[in-house]
């Protein structure tokens, strides 16, 4: 027999009294695990959505109307390209990607399309100041998605369709949207002429389901020339870090570019992030509640347990148990209960999250082993701390007062 055996026996013998206080801890841990689990996947989902949408901030001319996010840059109004420099030379944090654009309508075979001029990434990188500003170093876990396997195979196309950023594009090259390619029967390697200029089609972009499908992309400076405009833009698309956005990135950009209009994909950024924030706060609140209520309840139970067992404690002391043994007896009980509470709380919380996650947050939720560490840590810590003083009281009991025969 080990001290542990005694502890288990006692727990099972008197499990009814343990009931409510242990349940408080168990439920608390379950709720925390479950909220944390759902929040994690919900945050991931937000990040994925943002990433799929590409830019999450648009800088437009002041007078621009904004009906559809995706066609927001198809405006007549323009602003100077110099805005880009202002942004990159500023000390704004959380600007992940800048994509300056100028669009112009054009017709081929009587069909209307849009030619959008973009600045390829290699031209950004050529400008040293930008690079050192860290524009292209996207911070980990900041509005980014985990790499989706298989999607790296064709980086240029995928990146453009997903983030509207492209590595390289020559002055006479063109990328063609999926719908446009179909309707004009264009394929890679063909050449297309727009407004007298001839372009080589370097890629046909995958279907995106947005207006991008009937666009062609070419080099910004070529499009500026074709449009007869000089160093102007319709829009700058910005991929901003979601946290930076909620920390007022938009307002900061607004301040920097007072003559421009800055908008975000507000419904996604705001509602989803607000929900996630609320969930994190809720889990903090629960943590505080279970630490206080659960802890107090466990402490109360432990004091009662010590009082109830004082004859047993006295007997053990009469048999030669020192205070260390008695202290261990009660702390071991706390430890065992803490482990059981942590494990059970993790299981219940995870099952709840996996079942309820899709309904509450609309995202698929999977078990997160790291939360087991959390659950164990919280549960064991609460039980040990709450039990310490009762256990110490037991250890300091006077053997005889514990044995007082009636």
Partner 1 sequence: MLRMHSVTKSYNHRGKRVLALDDVTMDIPAGDFVSIVGPSGSGKSTFLLMLGGMLSPAEGKVVVDGQSVYDLSSDKRAALRKKKIGFVFQTFNLIPYLTALENVQIPFLLAGVDGDEQRTNAASLLERLGLGDRLDHKPSELSVGQQQRVALARMLANDPAIVLADEPTGNLDPDTGRAILAFFEEIHREGRTVVMVTHDHTAAARAKRVLRLLDGKIVNGGE
Contact footprint for partner 1 (CB under 8 A): 1-3, 5-6, 9-10, 12-14, 311-312, 314-325, 399-400, 403, 405
Residue with tokens 């899709």: 358
Of 5, 6, 4, residue with least CA distance to 316: 6
Distance of CA 247 to the CA centre of its chain: 15
Decide whether 91 or 405 has the Cβ nearer to partner 1.
405
Give the nearest distance from C-beta 381 to partner 1 in angstroms: 27
Q: Return the axis-axis angle of helices 295-308 and 323-360, rounded to nearest 10°.
A: 150
Shortest spacing between CB 401 and partner 1, in angstroms: 9
Q: Based on CB atoms, which residue is closest to partner 1, 288 or 400?
A: 400
Of 314 and 349, which has the nearer Cβ to partner 1?
Answer: 314
In this structure, are residues 143 and 239 in contact, taking their beta carbons and an 8 Å threshold? yes
**Residue with smaller CB distance to partner 1, 14 or 62:** 14
How is residue 203 annotated by DSSP? E
CA distance 328 to 259: 71
| DSSP bridge pairs for 260 | 61
Q: How far is CA 364 from the centre of its chain?
A: 14
- CA of 263: how far to CAs of 9, 247, 269, 288, 297, in Å? 65, 14, 11, 37, 50
Query: Could you tell me if 290 and 25 are in contact, meaning their C-beta atoms sit under 8 angstroms apart?
Result: yes
Q: Tell the smallest beta-carbon distance from residue 391 to partner 1 (Å).
A: 16
User: How far, in Å, CA of 332 to CA of 302, rounded?
Assistant: 12
Which residue, 9 or 62, is less far from partner 1 as judged by CB?
Answer: 9
Smallest distance from partner 1 to CB 15, Å: 11
Nearer to partner 1, 153 or 324 (CB): 324
* Shortest CB 22 distance to partner 1, Å: 17
Beta carbons within 8 Å of 239's beta carbon, 6+ residues apart: 54, 55, 56, 57, 95, 96, 97, 99, 138, 143, 163, 165
Place of tokens 């004091």: 303
Please say whether the beta carbons of 154 and 230 come within 8 A: no
- In the bound state with partner 1, the residue whose beta carbon lies nearer, of 12 and 128, is 12
Phi, psi torsion values for 196, nearest 5 degrees: 90, -15
Least distance from partner 1 to the Cβ atom of residue 396, Å: 9
Is the Cβ–Cβ distance between 38 and 361 less than 8 Å?
yes
What is the spatial distance between Cα 162 and Cα 165, in angstroms, rounded to a whole number? 8
Provide, rounded to whole angstroms, the least separation between the CB of residue 330 and partner 1.
Answer: 15
CB of 399 to partner 1, least distance (A): 5
CA–CA separation, 90 vs 237, rounded Å? 16
Give, for 106, the enclosing helix (H) or strand (E): strand 95-108
Smallest distance, Å, CB 278 to partner 1? 46
Closer Cβ to partner 1, 7 or 119, answer by number: 7
Measured from the CB atom, is 183 or 315 closer to partner 1?
315
From the list 116, 113, 138, 121, the residue with the least C-alpha distance to 56 is 138
Closest CB to partner 1 among residues 8, 106: 8
Q: How far is the CB of 30 from partner 1 (least distance, A)?
A: 29
Place of tokens 């992030």: 273
């Amino acid at each position: 027999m080990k001290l542990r055996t005694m502890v288990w026996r006692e727990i099972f013998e008197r499990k009814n009294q343990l009931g409510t206080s242990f349940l408080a801890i168990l439920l608390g841990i379950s709720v925390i695990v479950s909220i944390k689990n759902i929040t994690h996947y919900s945050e991931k989902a937000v990040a994925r959505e943002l990433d799929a949408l590409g830019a999450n901030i648009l800088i437009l001319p002041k007078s621009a109307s904004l009906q559809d996010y995706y066609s927001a840059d198809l405006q007549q109004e323009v602003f100077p390209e110099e805005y880009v420099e202002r942004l990159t030379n500023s000390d704004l944090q959380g600007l992940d990607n800048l994509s300056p654009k100028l669009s112009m309508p054009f017709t081929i075979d009587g069909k209307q399309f849009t030619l959008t001029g973009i600045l390829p990434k290699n031209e950004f990188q050529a400008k040293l100041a930008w690079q050192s500003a860290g524009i292209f170093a996207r911070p980990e876990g900041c509005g980014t998605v985990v790499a989706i396997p298989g999607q790296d195979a064709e980086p240029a196309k995928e990146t453009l369709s997903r983030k509207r950023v492209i590595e390289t594009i020559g002055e006479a090259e063109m990328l063609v949207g999926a719908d446009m390619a179909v309707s004009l029967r264009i394929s890679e390697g063909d050449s297309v002429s727009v407004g007298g200029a001839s372009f080589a089609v370097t890629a046909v972009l995958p279907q995106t389901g947005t207006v991008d499908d009937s666009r062609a992309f070419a080099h910004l400076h070529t499009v500026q020339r074709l449009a007869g405009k000089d160093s102007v833009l319709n829009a700058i698309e910005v991929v901003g870090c979601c946290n930076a956005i909620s920390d007022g990135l938009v307002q900061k950009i607004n301040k920097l570019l007072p003559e421009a209009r800055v908008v975000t994909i507000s419904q996604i950024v705001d509602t989803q992030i607000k929900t996630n924030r609320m969930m994190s706060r809720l889990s903090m609140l629960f943590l505080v509640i279970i630490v206080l209520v659960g802890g107090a309840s466990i402490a109360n139970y432990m004091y009662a347990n010590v009082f109830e067992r004082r004859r047993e404690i006295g007997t053990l002391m009469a048999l030669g148990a020192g205070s260390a043994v008695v202290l261990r007896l009660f702390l071991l009980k706390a430890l065992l209960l803490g482990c059981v509470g942590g494990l059970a709380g993790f299981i219940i919380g995870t099952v709840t999250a996996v079942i309820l996650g899709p309904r509450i947050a609309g995202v698929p939720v999977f078990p997160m082993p790291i939360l087991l560490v959390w659950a164990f840590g919280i549960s064991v810590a609460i039980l040990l701390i709450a039990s310490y003083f009762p256990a110490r009281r037991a250890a300091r009991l006077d053997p005889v007062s514990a044995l007082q025969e009636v």
